[in-house]
Amino acid sequence: MDEELKDYYVPQIFRKVFCEHSKEQPRERGRKDRMKKIGFDNDKYLKMQSEHIRDRINQFDNKLYLEFGGKLFDDFHASRVLPGFAPDSKLQMLLQLADQAEMIISINAADIERNKIRHDLGITYDEDVLRLIDIYKKKGLYVSSVVITRYAGQPSADLFRKKLEAIGIHVYHHYSIEGYPNNIDLIVSDEGYGKNDYIKTTRPLVIVTAPGPGSGKMATCLSQLYHENKNGIKAGYAKFETFPIWNIPLKHPVNLAYEAATADLNDVNMIDPFHLEAYNETTVNYNRDIEIYPVLAAMFEGIYGHCPYKSPTDMGVNMAGNCIIDDEVCKAASRQEIIRRYYQSLNRFVKDEATKEEVYKQELIMKQAKITVNDRAVVPVANDLARENGSAAAALELPDGTIITGSTSDLLGPASAVLLNAIKVLGNIDKKVHLISRTFIEPIQQLKTGYLGSRNPRLHTDEVLIALSMCAVSDPNAKLALEQLPKLSGCQLHVSAILSAVDMNTFKKLGIEFTNEAVYEGAANN
């Protein structure tokens, strides 16, 4: 029999019992009422953001180089901390400007040479450039060229250039400048930016994006300003970063969540001292932007004879803060994101992928946000059940606030068990009903252990879903349960032990927002 016979169905009314058994009491008592609420006006954002960029273009000679940071079409961090923000909002905004815009993708030659990986996607930076080109083109955006920055004749960069040219993409080279970014006299000269290839552009808005940090987006923009100025065009520069949001408080949970998301970079949000001095107005910016601003201002003065901006905040065009319509909803969502990021760092540390300093920083952010892990409702439920059973357990919160649990059995681990239990509840299927019989599970276990060399006989979530799909052909209950899967998107999950990569991938595909304890537990190797 499968884990479904060991159902732990925890209605909302019993959540308090679990919480009182924990060291900390959860603050999100009203979470059930807020789960469906929207805190961000996405339509307002699309309209306001595109209009603001058009205004910025008009401030210059109808030519603006826009450094575009963050994810363009899959910004799930923003959608989590700003409920109502669509993951592709920035893409949709740019599509409103598609007739005015073209895109340049920058990539560091050194990143090509060393096969630098985007860890969220598991692909190299150069592979991601090809992916981005394909996606942008399919969406209707014009990708005019790729610039290989810090080029020094790397063979892998040359091969990549040939690959791009074979698909009709123009490729340019930018070079390292000795003493960059402080040697202003050399940088802003024919021996500095002047040695870089001049990237030919034809549209008023030039969006400079990249597969990741360190790709040379800002340097590409400034190099183009130098060349445009030599050609008699007073082009402008602006920076588009969604976070930190400049016109909300420094320690607002939304901004703290961004610090948590970038804890591995050891960067911090700061009050912009230049903006405060110039306007007597408190705004929030990123420490790296604040540190580089005097250099940027000097570069502008070298190119134009003056700097058009009085502060790094002035350079930004982000309107997200003006589109928050329910601050409390965004605060609550951001607190949950901070906890998720804390758990991510803990797990990275256990796997030797993060430093103690990163974990310490996450702990500090938790204290600044005045939260603990038990403010995530599923955490104490899963952990208490694991202690009670002496084996790994999982807890999943449904959209109505009901918490469903699952435990380790001889057939399933907690991740698989809670998944089956959840879709059974969502489909109003009696808990005694077997969605997958032992006769289906045991042959799969035999295949895993007898032929594929696995030491763990329990089924992963993907294997469970495949088995469920097979059962759905002839079993109406299995078919009904399978149809509930879309309802899991946005649900919260916690597991009391480290999840397998397979299970994490399945939950990501289902849209489940999961955390797990950073401990290995034999009983939880599901």
Q: For residue 69, name the pLDDT band (cuts at 50, 70, 90).
A: confident
How many of the other CB atoms lie within 10 Å of CB of 397?
27
How many domains does the chain contain in total? 2
Structure tokens at 406: 């699952």
CA separation, residue 133 to residues 65, 104, 105, 281 (Å)? 19, 10, 8, 40
Mean pLDDT check: name the lowest of 144-148, 160-164, 381-385, 459-463.
459-463
pLDDT value, residue 266: 80
> Can you name the residues that pair with 67 across neighbouring β-strands?
208, 239
Residues 74 and 14 in one domain: no
In the predicted structure, residue 521 carries a pLDDT above the cut 80: no
Residues 387 and 449 in one domain: yes
Please check whether residue 485 lies inside any domain of the structure.
yes
- How far, in Å, CA of 206 to CA of 64, rounded? 6
Cβ–Cβ under 8 Å, residues 356 and 349: yes
Please check whether residue 58 lies inside any domain of the structure.
yes
State the Cα angle at 294 between 303 and 277, rounded to 5°: 120
CATH number at residue 397: 3.40.140.40
- How far, in Å, CA of 98 to CA of 142, rounded? 8
Q: Domain of 516? A: 3-27+372-524
pTM of the model: 0.87
Residues 8 and 102 in one domain: no
In the predicted structure, residue 19 carries a pLDDT above the cut 60: no
Domain boundary (297, 323, 349) is at 323
For the segment 345-363, the average pLDDT, to the nearest whole number, is 95
Residues 397 and 319 in one domain: no
Please check whether residue 257 lies inside any domain of the structure.
no
Residues 46 and 22 in one domain: no
Please check whether residue 334 lies inside any domain of the structure.
no
Domain boundary (260, 288, 323) is at 323
- Reported as a single tens digit per residue, the pLDDT across 112-140 is 999 998 877 789 999 999 999 999 999 99
In the predicted structure, residue 339 carries a pLDDT above the cut 70: yes
Mean pLDDT check: name the lowest of 7-16, 47-56, 204-213, 251-260.
7-16
Residue type, 368: Q
For the chain, count helices (H), then strands (E).
22, 15
- Reported as a single tens digit per residue, the pLDDT across 308-333 is 999 999 999 999 999 999 999 999 99
Residues 390 and 414 in one domain: yes
Please check whether residue 346 lies inside any domain of the structure.
no
> Can you name the residues that pair with 316 across neighbouring β-strands?
239
- How far, in Å, CA of 303 to CA of 287, rounded? 25
pLDDT value, residue 25: 37
Residues 401 and 516 in one domain: yes
Cβ–Cβ under 8 Å, residues 201 and 144: yes
Residues 151 and 7 in one domain: no
- Reported as a single tens digit per residue, the pLDDT across 472-505 is 999 999 999 999 999 999 999 999 999 999 999 9
- Reported as a single tens digit per residue, the pLDDT across 366-404 is 999 999 999 999 999 999 999 999 999 999 999 999 999
